[in-house]
Amino acid sequence: MENKVLTEVLAHFLARLDSCNKSLLIELNQHYKELKNLVEIQLKQQIQLESSETISLTQSTLNQIGQNNFVYFISEWERKRPYRRALMVTETYYQKISEIVKSLPSEWHVSGNELVVELGNQLPKGWQQAFAKLKRKQHYIPLRKIIFCALQRNFALSAKLEQKYFFSLIQLVDQLKNNWEITYQAFANYILKNEAEFDWQKLQNKAKNLIVTLIKEIDQVLLDLEKNTTMISESLKKAILNNIVFPWQKNAFDYSDRQSANLLHWTKQLQLVQTEVSLENSLYTSELKVLSCVNTVIESASLERSNLLTELQEAIDWLNQQIKSTSVNSTFPNAKNHITPALSRLAEIEHIFTQGVKEISENLEIPAKLSFSPREGLKIRKINPNKMLVKSFQTNSQRKIASAVKEIETENRKIIHYIEQAREVISFHLEDISGNNSSDDNQKLAQEAFNNALSLLEFCQKESIDWRPIVEKQMLQAFINCFSQARIILKQSRLGALAYLTQQDLNQTVKLLSRKAISLSGLLLNKLLDTTKFLIERSLIYLGLMSSSTSKSVEISTRAFLPQEYSFNLQNLDLPALYNRLFRFEPVQDSRFLVGREKDIMAITQARQMWEQSRSISVLIVGERGSGKSSLINCAKKVSLANLEIVQGEFGQRITTEEELYGFLRELLKLEPLTNVKSFLKESRRVIILEELERAYLRKVACYDAIRALQRLISASSDTTLWILCINKTAYQLLNAALGLNQSFSHRIDIGTASKEVLQEAILLRHNLSGLRLEFISPPIQNPFIHKAKSLIGSNTTDETVFFTTLEKESAGIFRTAFKLWLGHIDSIQAGLLSVKPLSIAQKSLLTKDLDLSDLFTLAAILQHGSLTYEEYSNIFQQNLNNSRRQIDELVARELLEDDPQKDGFRVSPDALPLVKEVLYLNNLIS
C-alpha cells in the first residue's frame, strides 16, 4: 500500500515540478524577448539631423531624437520591467520549489527490491539497480531530504546558466543607454562640426554586433535550461536509488544561500544600471531645459539690438535734415536705450545653467564593470555628476559663452558708440564754431562735421552685423560641447582613463603622431646639417685655414641713423584739416584733453590752498619735454589757479649770473631797472610761473649763480609769491645733486611719462572727435609658432592693444612723440574709415653701438640744458669752437639733434628723444 503511495507521491511531485520549470522557462523567454524587441527597435531607429543652427531648432531636434531614441524605450522598459520581472519569476520559482519539496513526506520505509519493482522502468539501468534488488530488508529513507539535496545539486548546475542569462540581460539593458549615447554623440558631432573625428556607422555596427552576440548567448542559455529541466526527474530517482545502495551517504547539499546571493547580486546590478539610465535621462532633460532658457536670453539681446537700430535711424534722419537746412534748428536726438553688460548676461546664463543642472544628483554610485556572479564582485564607482557638469561648463564652455556675450555687448555697444561719437562730433564742432567769427569757415566746418557724423552713422547702419546667427551658433556649440564633454568625463570615470582610451581609436592617434614625428625629424636633420656646415666654415676661418674673404657675404658699413620708424615728415602726410587740428603739437588749452593728470591738478590746488593760508609754498614741476608740463600749467591756470594774479614767462635765453636773472625778472614783472625785485614781490600776492628752468644755468664752474640766486629769492618770497617752475627731468637730476634744488620747493610734481592707457585715451579722445571710424591693420605674423602658442594659452591680444602697447614703448610715454607716431602710422582715410598701420619696434641696437663717448656726453649735456649753441657747448666741454661744431653737426647728421625752432642752439630731436634717453640710461649716464 505504502509503495503504491510513493509512486503516486513521486508522480505528483514531478508533475508539479515540471509545471514550475515550464512556467519559469516561458517567463524568462518572454521577458528576454520583450527586452530584445526594445533594443532591436531602438537600433533600427534612424536619426535625421537637419541643418539647425538656432537654439530653438536644435532644442526641438534634440527633443525629437531623444524622444524617439531614448525616452520612449526607457519608459517602455520601465513600464514592462522585463529584467525585474525575470528576477521576480526566478525568486518565486525557488519559493514554489521549496513549498513543493515541503509537501513531500519527510521519510519513507521501503526495501530495495520493492523500489526497483515500483520504479524499475524509470530508474537508470546499471549495477546499482541489481545491487538494490538484493536488499530485501525494509529501509528507512529520508525522502524529502534526498529530493531537496538532489534539487539543490541541479540548481547548482543550472546556476551558471542563470548567471549567463542575467548577465546578458543586464548587458542588453545597458545597451539601451549605450545606443542612445551613440545617437547623442552623432548629434553632438553634427552640431560641433567635427564629423571627421567620429564614425557613427562604425559605432553602430559595433553595437549591433554586440547585441547579436548577446541574443545568441541568451537563446543558447534558454535551450540549455530547458534541457536541464528534462533531466531533473531522472536525477531525483537516481538519488533515491543511491540512498538504498549507499545508505551511509550523507544528503546535506544546500545551495539556497548561493541562490540568495545571486539574486541579490543581480538586483544590485540592476539598481546600478538603472541609476546610470536615470542619470542619462536627467542629463538629457537638463540639456533641453538649459537650451530653452538660453534661447530666452538670446531673444532679449536681440530685442535690445532692434531698439538700438531704431535709435540709429532716428539720428540719421536728424542729420539728413540738418544737412539740407542752412541753420541748426534742433538738438541731436536723445539717447533712449541702455545696454545689458556682458558680465550680467554671463551671470544670467551661469545662473540658468546652475538651475538647469540642479536636478542632477551630486552623489551617485555606478558600476565600473558589469559582472557575471557575486564571486567576481561588483566594482562600483562613486561620482558627482553635478560637479562634473559644472566643471565641464567651466572648462569647455564658459570662455566661449563669455566671448559670445561679449560679442553681443560689443556689437550693441558699437551702435551706441557710433551714435555717441556722432553726438560728440556735432556738439564739439558747434561749440568750436561758436567761438569762431568767420561765418564761411563756420558753415564749411559745420557741413564737414554733419557729413562726417552722417557717414559714421550710415556706415554703422550698413556694417552693423546681425550677431545673432554667429553668437547663437557659438553658444549652442558651447552648451552641446559642455554636455558632450561631461558625458565623456562620466564615461572615463566609469571605465577608468586607460580603458576609455583603449575603447577609442588609439591606433589612429598613434599613427598621426608618428607621421608628425617623422616629418619633424626630417626638418630638424636638415637644420642640423646646415648648422654643422656653417660651424665647420667658421672654424676653418677661425683657424686661419680659410680666408674670410672666400665667404660669400658682402659687408657694407653705414653710419647708424635714427631708425626710420621715428624719422618721417608729417608735412608729407595728407591728413584732413579736422584731424590735423585735433592732433596739433601745441600745449593743451582745453582741460577735456588733459588726460591722466588729475593728481597733478589736485597737487597744484592743494599748493594754492596752503599758500592762501600764508604758508611759504613753491611748486616745481618736473617732466620730460613733450610730456605735458605746459598743458598742465594751462589747465591749472583755469582750474587750480583761477582768480589769482598770474605772471607767466619762460627762460628764453641762457642765463648764468645773478644780474642776468634779476634783469630777466624785472622784464617779466615789468619793473624799472634797479628796482628791488625781492621788495616788489613782498608787496603783493601773485603767482609766478616760470618754464624751462634748464636754461638758467650752464654746467660749468661759476655758471650756477643764476639758479642759486633764484633759490634764494624763492625762499625769501614764497610766502607772498606762489612760485611754479618747470624743468626737465635730466636737468633736475643734475641741479638737485649739485645745488639741492629740491630743498627750495615745498611741492615737487614729477609728472612722469604717460601709461599705455593714458596714451590710448588721449589719442582716441581726439580721434573720436574727428567723426572718422577707426581700423587697426593686423601686423604680419612674425613667428607662427609663438602665435600658435599664444593662442593656445589665450594670450593673443587685439590689434589695438598691440598697437598701443608698442606705442607706449616707442614713445617712452611722451605725448608729443606718441601723437607723431600715431599720425605717421595712418595708412589711409577712405570713405570715413581711418586705417592705422601696425607699429613696428625700431631696431635701436645699431645706433646704440655706433655712438661713442663724446656723442653720449653731448646728448646728455643737451638734455640737461634743453638746447646748446656751439659756444655753450665749447664752454661746457672746454673745447675749441671748431671741435664743438664738428661734434654737434655730426649728431645733427645722424638726425639725433636738430636746430631748436624756438630758442638758440640745438636740441635733441623730439623724434629721437625716447631713443636718446634709452641709450643714456643703458650707459648709466642718466637714471
Partner 1 sequence: MINSLILTFLIWFDEIETSLQIIKRLSPEKLIVALSIIGIAFLLVRLTSFFIESLSQYAPRSRFFFKMFATVIRFAISFSTGIFLVVVFAPSQQTLLTVLASVGLAVGLGAQDLIKNIIGGLVILIDRPYQLGDRVKIGDAYGEIDHIGLRSTKLTTPDDTRVTIPNSDILSGKAWNANSGVPDCQVVTDLYLPHDANPEEAVEVGYEVAYSSPFILLTKPVVVLLQDRFQDGPFMVLRIKAYVYDHRFEPRFQSDITIRAKAEFLKRGMILRWNRHDQAPTSEILREEFLKVQKLN
**Interface residues with partner 1 (CB under 8 A)?**
699-702, 704, 733-734, 737-738, 845, 848-849, 853, 857, 860-861, 876-878, 921-925, 927
Residue 555: CB minimum distance to partner 1, A: 18
Give the DSSP H/E element, type plus range, for residue 835. strand 833-836
Q: How far is the CB of 702 from partner 1 (least distance, A)?
A: 7
Minimum Å gap between C-beta 566 and partner 1 is 19
- Nearest approach in angstroms of CB 845 to partner 1 is 6
Nearer Cβ to partner 1 (506/846): 846
Residue 876 CB, nearest distance to partner 1 (Å)?
A: 7
What is the rounded CA–CA span in Å between residue 883 and residue 712?
37
Minimum CB separation of residue 864 from partner 1 in Å reads 10
- Cβ-based nearer residue to partner 1, 832 or 914: 914
Q: Rg (Cα) of the chain, in Å, rounded? A: 48
In the complex, what is the shortest distance from the CB of residue 543 to partner 1, in angstroms, rounded to a whole number? 14
**d(Cα 480, Cα 291) in Å, to the nearest integer?**
9
Helix axis angle, 756-768 to 815-824, nearest 10°: 50
Nearer to partner 1, 100 or 876 (CB): 876
| Beta-carbon count within 10 A of 434 CB | 8
75 vs 697: CA distance, rounded Å: 97
Pair 632, 600: CB distance under 8 Å: yes
- The residue among 831 and 853 lying less far from partner 1, judged by its C-beta, is 853
Q: 475 or 698, CB closer to partner 1?
A: 698
CB-based contact 731:693 (threshold 8 Å): yes
Residue 899 β-bridge partners: 906
- CB 699, min distance to partner 1, A: 5
Q: Which residues lie closer than 8 Å to 90 by C-beta, 6 or more apart?
A: 24, 28, 162, 263
Minimum distance from residue 879 beta carbon to partner 1 (Å): 11
Among 557, 571, 563, 558, which residue's Cα sits nearest to residue 896?
563
Cβ distance to partner 1 smaller for residue 561 or 857: 857
CB of 810 to partner 1, least distance (A): 18
Q: Is the dihedral of CA 303, 308, 314, 320 positive or negative?
A: negative
CB contact at 8 A, 744 and 714: yes
Q: Return the C-alpha cell found at 761.
A: 585715451
Contacts of 667 (CB under 8 A, 6+ apart): none
CB of 868 to partner 1, least distance (A): 13
Q: How far is the CB of 924 from partner 1 (least distance, A)?
A: 4
Single-letter amino acid, residue 754 = A
Kindly state the smallest distance separating residue 540's Cβ from partner 1, in Å: 15
Nearer to partner 1, 553 or 924 (CB): 924
Closest approach, Cβ 738 to partner 1, in A, equals 4
* Residue 260 or 742 having the CB closest to partner 1: 742
How far is Cα 184 from Cα 178, in angstroms, rounded to an integer?
10
Whole-number minimum distance, CB 560 to partner 1, in Å? 14
Cα–Cα nearest to 851, from 905, 911, 922, 927: 922
Nearer to partner 1, 304 or 810 (CB): 810
Helices 200-230 and 143-192, interaxial angle, to 10°?
Answer: 170
Neighbours of 545 (CB within 10 A): 8
* CB closer to partner 1, 75 vs 539: 539
- Least distance in angstroms from the C-beta of 535 to partner 1: 8
Q: Are 453 and 771 in contact (CB under 8 A)?
A: yes
Sole residue written with cell 628723444: 913
Return the closest-CA partner of residue 694 out of 646, 626, 632, 625.
625
Which CB sits closer to partner 1, 338 or 849? 849
- 387 vs 527 by CB, closer to partner 1: 527
- Between 252 and 853, name the residue whose CB sits nearer to partner 1: 853
> By three-state DSSP, how is residue 48 classified?
coil
Decide whether 114 or 855 has the Cβ nearer to partner 1.
855
Closer to partner 1 by Cβ: residue 212 or 737: 737
- C-alpha torsion sign, points 818, 819, 822, 823: negative
Give the separation between CA 365 and CA 272, rounded to whole angstroms: 7
CB atoms within 10 A of CB 783: 9
Q: What is the largest CA-CA distance in the chain?
A: 165
Cα 849 to chain centroid distance, Å, stands at: 43
CB of 708 to partner 1, least distance (A): 11
Element containing residue 109 per DSSP (H, E): strand 108-111
Q: How far apart are CA 56 and CA 302, in angstroms?
A: 14
Minimum separation from the CB atom of position 537 to partner 1 (A): 15
How many whole angstroms separate alpha carbon 409 and alpha carbon 417?
11
Its sign, for the CA torsion 615, 616, 619, 620, is negative
And the C-alpha cell for 287? 540639456
Q: Toward partner 1, which CB reaches closer, 893 or 922?
A: 922
Residue in 854, 899, 865 with CA at minimum distance from that of residue 703? 865
310 contact partners, CB below 8 Å, separation of at least 6: none
Looking at 373-417, which runs of residues are DSSP E strands? 379-383
DSSP state of 776: E
Distance CA 93, CA 16 (A): 12
Whether 253 and 239 have beta carbons less than 8 Å apart is answered as no
CA distance 485 to 717: 77
